[in-house]
Chains A and B, each alone.
Chain A
Amino acid sequence: MFRVSRRVAACVSILASAQAAVDVSPATAPRMEFTPLAPGTYQLQAIQSVEDTTLLDERARPVRLSALTKGKITLLTFFYTYCVDPLGCPFAHQTLTLLRDRILRDRELAREVRFVGISCDPGTDTPDVLARYAMEFTRGSRLEWRFLTARSVSALLPVLADFGQDVSVDVDESGRATRALHHMLKVFLIDHRGRVREIYSLAYLQPQVMLNDIRTLHLERRSGFAGAGTAVRRAQ
């Protein structure tokens, strides 16, 4: 099983050596040079459903994933607590924090939205670690923001596969895992029925667009709109 230590100093030195072998380009934050469409004036397609499984919450309680991907509009992302990439997990959480503050200005909307983070390093990110990490994002906030981990990497792999979330780990010369994890940053927008309706990679992490997408799903539910897939059905 994949296990990593929690020594941050070791992490930094490994990262530095890894960088030397990699041609790193300057990271670029997403640019937005357009006016986003108004909520409800466009349709978000149903990209995929989410397969159910059992994970652990910050208090080590078993939680069905479906309980946190249905019933509300959910923004779900994969992360790990010791990620230091300024345009990686910290950037995603910074964007979500900004988004949370905007959502909280609308009480009705705030009741309809939750954020979920799933650790992609269950060996390190135990429930205790998650509980401490979560404090920064949940303290004093009315918006539901949950952090989950898995009992093991084996338990996590089907979740990663279902979301198409590739995770790899650098290995040292003897083939042992280091603390350098790679994963493509993605935030999944999931509707009340548990269907993924948008996926934001870094180029798409534009808070105003994300807010408008959330409002679009909110309006869709209020109007009883059947949702995506109609374009395909019409063609068949």
Chain B
Amino acid sequence: MRQSSQCAAVVANVCVCFGSAVPDALADETCNSPYISNLIKGQEDFVHVWTLGVEGLGDGSDKLVTVDANPASKTYGKVVDSISVGGRGEAHHMGFTDDRKFLWAGGLDDSEIHVFDVGTNPSKPKLLRTITDLPAKTKFVGPHTFYALPGRMLIGNLSNTADKGGVTGMALYNNKGSLIARYDMPTASFGGVQGDGYGYDIAINPAKNVLLTSSFAGWQNYMRELGDLIKDAEAMKHFGNTMVVWNLKSMRPTQVLRVPGAPLEIRWSLAPGQNWAITAAALTAKLWLIKQGAGGAWSAREVGTIGDPAQVPLPVDISITAAGKGLWVNTFMDGTTHYFDLTDPEHPKQTYQRRIGTQVNMISQSWDGKRVYMTSSLLAHWDKKGADNEQFLRAFNWDGHALTPAFEVDFTKEKLGRPHHMKFSARANQSRTLAALAR
């Protein structure tokens, strides 16, 4: 515990002395919303893994799995907690509230949103409540991205209740779990580009008052077996080909950008003076740069290739370094991670790659970039079959040149399920909440 308190370096958006900093950049720790306090800039203590339940494996339920990630701990690399939500709803992504006390975790199939308390005791999260009114109140389904705003959570969805296709929108809840507003993804033309109405990721640059969204596919595609889907030429037309630039204050779209091939995760470089974000298009295996021109308008431009697009490597998750100088890209089909030098974001250059497993999906890195965590599952119906269906959390150390394995959790052997999204937490050894002190 003592060692943990020395290692767990939590930088807070706090009054007093710890700096109320706007983060210089986003990373996974670097990829959190810029409105989140308490970024962990030292050693994380825990990795929380939002895990899809598998029928016949353990309790079969979706669950939040907590793994000890502090090398100084006796339980380093071990599962220290697992909390089931009592059903399978296609667990996928999650996001912290602005105060980093609560983790909202969504199901792409049942559209339920589970709110976990990870602030009181991060080694033992508690399920506080489940929000079930998203489809009824917004007509959206498939809550994907959970993006903190001060006092509220902006949710990027994937589909809709009417035809379960890709036309969707965003929902805004307050931190108490009440719906505030809904916003349709644009289907009209903006700046000469037709909106397709599809949604996926959300990323905000506060200094620019700009919100960027990307686009994937609807329930009918993401809940279908991948092998069947690929053979269905008509269904393969129903993937997003756009990104949208929004005025954050008004929540109105200002531009639609043509980015073919399902642009997924968006990462801003928020270093002072920078005016760009980057994304990877899954179906075309291309990196795209979204940049503001001298006149203030934004443009999207293809700037790099990931692996061999002819082999459909399927880039799925990306993670930008804190300084915005490097980018990890995971390609699902070949189970490989790629590191790109982003010193010149107009010309990303791959400098390293390593096969991680038979399949690999999410990637999260520590603020200092020295530790990298990867999970295996993409979607229940898109994961590989048989022996290729490895399900793991694998942790690595990164020295700037090569990845070295640190620890691994076999999620099948542990009867947990399919691990997907990860978030970090740290013990608050040096402080107590005012409420706790008043008791």
Residues of A within 8 A of B (CB): 1-2, 15, 18-19, 21-34, 36-37, 41-43, 45-48, 79-80, 83-85, 87-89, 91, 120, 153-154, 156-157, 160, 163-164, 166-171, 175, 177, 180-186, 188, 196, 199-204, 209, 228-229, 231-232, 235-236
**Given the interface contacts A89-B15, A184-B37, does A166 sit within 8 Å of B10 by beta carbon?**
no
**Contact assessment for A85 and B15 in the assembled complex, using a CB-CB cutoff below 8 Å:** yes
Tell me which residues across on chain B come within 8 A of A84, comparing CB atoms.
16-17
Complex contact B432–A201 (CB within 8 A): no
* A168–B151 CB distance below 8 A: no
What is the interface of chain B mostly: helix, strand, loop, or mixed?
loop
Asked whether any CB of chain A lies closer than 8 Å to the CB of B137, the reply is yes
Are A182 and B16 in contact, CB atoms less than 8 angstroms apart?
yes
By a CB distance below 8 angstroms, the chain B residues around A232 are 137-138, 179-182
Known contacts A30-B22, A168-B432, A171-B432; is A85 also within 8 Å of B438 by CB? Answer: no
Please determine whether A33 and B207 come into contact, CB atoms closer than 8 angstroms: yes
Whether A85 touches B21, Cβ cut-off 8 Å, given contacts A201-B98, A235-B182, is no
Interface residues of B in 158-208 (CB under 8 A from A): 172, 174-176, 178-183, 206-208
Instruction: Indicate if B437 sits at the interface (CB-CB under 8 A).
Output: yes
CB distance from B141 to the nearest CB of A (A): 13
On chain A, the residues within 8 Å of B249 by CB distance are: 36-37, 42, 209
Q: B287 to chain A: closest CB distance in Å?
A: 24
Contact check, B174 vs A48: say whether CB atoms are below 8 A apart.
Answer: yes
Q: Do B206 and A204 touch across chains, with their CB atoms under 8 A apart?
A: yes
Q: Report whether A202 and B13 are in contact in the complex, using a CB–CB cutoff of 8 Å.
A: yes
Which single residue of chain A is at the shortest CB-CB distance from B210?
A34
Is the beta-carbon distance between A23 and B433 smaller than 8 angstroms?
no
- Rounded to whole Å, the gap between the CB of A118 and the closest CB of chain B is 13
Structural contact, A168 and B18, CB atoms closer than 8 A:
no
From A26, A157, A171, A228, give the contact of B181 (CB < 8 A): A228
Question: Which A residues are in CB contact (< 8 Å) with B238?
Answer: none
Is there a chain A Cβ closer than 8 Å to B35's Cβ? yes
Report the minimum CB–CB distance from A206 to chain B (whole Å). 9
Which A residues touch B13, using CB under 8 A?
A: 184-185, 201-202
Q: Counting CB contacts under 8 A, is B311 at the interface?
A: no
User: Which 6 pairs between the two chains have the least Cβ-Cβ distance?
Assistant: A88-B15, A23-B9, A182-B14, A199-B150, A42-B250, A27-B19
Instruction: Please provide the chain B residues from 357 to 402 with a CB less than 8 Å away from any CB of chain A in the complex.
Output: none
- Which residues of chain A come closer than 8 Å to B175, judged between CB atoms? 164
Q: Which of B18, B35, B152 contacts A19 (CB 8 A)?
A: B18
Chain A minimum-CB-distance residue to B182? A235
Minimum CB–CB distance from B39 to chain A (whole Å) comes to: 8
Q: Is B428 at the interface (CB under 8 A from chain A)?
A: yes
| Pair B19/A85 contact, Cβ less than 8 Å | yes
Closest CB in chain B relative to A133 CB, distance in Å:
15
Check B138–A235 contact: CB distance below 8 A.
Answer: yes
Hey, which chain A residues are within 8 Å of B98, CB to CB?
Answer: 164, 184, 201
Task: Considering the complex, give the chain A residue whose CB is closest to the CB of B179.
Answer: A232
- The complex places the Cα of A27 from the Cα of B19 at a distance, in Å, of 5
CB <8 Å contact, A25 and B21: yes
Please give 7 more A-B residue pairs, beta carbons under 8 A apart, in addition to A156-B434, A184-B13: A42-B247, A42-B249, A85-B14, A182-B16, A184-B12, A200-B150, A235-B138
In the bound complex, residues from chain B placing their C-beta under 8 Å from that of A156 are 434
Indicate if the CB atoms of B247 and A24 lie closer than 8 Å.
no
In the complex, residue of chain B having the shortest beta-carbon distance to the beta carbon of A200: B150
Q: Report B-chain residues with C-beta under 8 Å of the C-beta of A22.
A: 9-11, 18
Which residues on A sit within 8 Å (CB–CB) of B252? Answer: 42
Q: Say yes or no: B24 contacts A28, CB within 8 Å.
A: yes
Instruction: Give 29 pairs: A residue, B residue, CB < 8 Å, sorted on A.
Output: A2-B437, A19-B18, A24-B18, A25-B11, A25-B19, A26-B21, A42-B252, A47-B151, A48-B176, A80-B15, A85-B15, A85-B17, A85-B19, A88-B14, A89-B15, A153-B434, A153-B437, A154-B438, A156-B434, A160-B434, A164-B99, A168-B431, A182-B12, A182-B18, A184-B14, A201-B37, A202-B22, A231-B182, A232-B182
> Closest Cβ of chain A: how far from B204's Cβ, in Å?
9
